[in-house]
């Protein structure tokens, strides 16, 4: 174990420099040309989005507004079988607007599919999804692909760069693999 890493971190998957290079490239090559003159509303999915959205913002050069939603999961035996509930909605009117949903990681795609259906009720001009990392889960919902992403990652539990383990470690500047060996003595 690397003594400098927190005990719940097994290894660093993407370091800070790599993360920022990938975000810069994605924004400059894809978002900036696609959203030029479209004035989208970027909707961050709390809490996990905050590191990614802040980093993306440094490179965005089109006019845009920012809003947030909070989605919580409830019921279900496992994390993945839980149902989703919107606990905070956007304040900006999305009718006739281009909407860009910004989330930290796409796992099954349930969160973004849920939000797309919810925002469609407001009849926006378009809805797209940008995520920092896309997991290659076999159960990944076919009907909800991401439109923009910075990294493809293994189907393992991750933490850091917005992602939490029991609400901790969101502030780590890197994306890391969770250390299951540390669970015994937490
Ligand atoms: P999905 O709805 O199955 O795509 O899951 C997406 C949400 O689950 C993300 O917004 C995260 O909040 C959470 N999540 C998925 N994978 C991880 C992980 O590896 N670590 C921490 N949170 C995760
Ligand atoms: Mg989340």
Domain with residue 143: its CATH number is 3.40.50.2020
Dmax (CA) of the chain? 53
Give the residue, by CA position, lying nearest to ligand 1 atom 22: 163
Write out the H or E segment, with its range, that includes residue 158.
Answer: strand 158-159
Residue 29 lies in a domain: yes
Query: What is the number of residues in the chain?
Result: 186
Non-local (6+) Cβ contacts of 118 within 8 A are: 86, 89
- What pLDDT does residue 108 have? 87
- Rounded Cα distance between 158 and 12, Å, is 10
Is residue 174, in this structure, part of any structural domain at all? Answer: no
d(CA 47, CA 163): 8
Residue 40, C-beta contacts closer than 8 angstroms, at least 6 positions apart:
62, 64, 65, 97, 98, 99, 100
Residue 148 lies in a domain: yes
The kind and range of the H/E element at 85 are strand 83-88
Does 61 fall in a domain?
yes
**Which of 103, 104, 107, 134 is an active site residue?**
107
Shortest-distance ligand to the CA of residue 115: 1
Q: Is residue 60 part of a domain?
A: yes
pTM of the model: 0.93
- pLDDT value of position 53: 98
pLDDT at 140 over 80: no
The arithmetic mean of pLDDT across residues 118-146, rounded, is 89
Asked if residue 17 belongs to a domain, the reply is yes
Q: How do the residues of the chain divide into helix, strand and coil, expressed in percent and rounded to 5?
A: 25, 35, 40
pLDDT at 78: 65
Domain carrying residue 146: 13-75+82-155
pLDDT at 185: 54
Ion ligand 2 nearby residues (CB, 5 A): 48
Give percent above pLDDT 70 in the chain.
93
Q: Whose CA is nearest to atom 5 of ligand 1?
A: 107
CB distance 48 to ligand 1 below 6 Å: yes
Write phi, then psi, for 4 (nearest 5 degrees).
-80, -15
In this prediction, residue 183 has a pLDDT band, given cuts at 50, 70 and 90, of: confident
Q: Is 8 in the pocket of ligand 1 (CB under 6 A)?
A: no
Assess if residue 53 is contained within a domain.
yes
The whole-chain average pLDDT of the chain stands at 92
Residue 26 within a domain: yes
CA torsion sign, 55 to 129 to 169 to 138? negative
The CA 15 to ligand 1 mean position distance, Å, reads 19
The answer, yes or no, to whether residue 14 has pLDDT greater than 80, is: yes
pLDDT digits (tens, 9 = 90+) for 30-76: 999 999 999 999 999 999 999 999 999 999 999 999 999 999 887 66
Residue nearest to atom 3 of ligand 1 (CA): 108
Q: Identify the band that residue 83 occupies on the pLDDT scale cut at 50, 70 and 90.
A: confident
Total domains present in the chain:
1
Share of the chain above pLDDT 90, in %: 81
């Amino acid at each position: 174990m690397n003594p400098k890493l927190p005990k719940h971190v097994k290894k660093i998957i993407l370091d800070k420099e790599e993360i920022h290079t990938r975000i810069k490239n994605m924004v400059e090559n894809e978002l900036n040309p696609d959203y030029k003159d479209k004035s989208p509303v970027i909707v961050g999915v709390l809490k996990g989005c905050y590191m990614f959205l802040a980093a993306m913002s440094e490179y965005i050069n089109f006019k845009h507004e920012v809003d947030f939603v909070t989605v919580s999961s409830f019921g279900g035996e496992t994390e993945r079988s839980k149902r989703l509930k919107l606990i905070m909605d956007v304040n900006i009117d999305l009718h006739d607007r281009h909407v860009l949903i910004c989330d930290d990681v796409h796992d099954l795609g349930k969160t973004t599919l849920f939000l797309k259906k919810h925002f469609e009720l407001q009849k926006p001009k378009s809805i797209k999804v940008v995520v920092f990392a896309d997991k290659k889960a076999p159960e990944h919902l076919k009907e909800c692909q991401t439109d923009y992403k910075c990294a493809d990652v293994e189907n393992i539990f991750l933490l850091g760069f917005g992602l939490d383990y029991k609400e901790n470690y969101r502030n780590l500047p890197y994306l890391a693999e969770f250390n299951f060996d540390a669970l015994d003595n937490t």
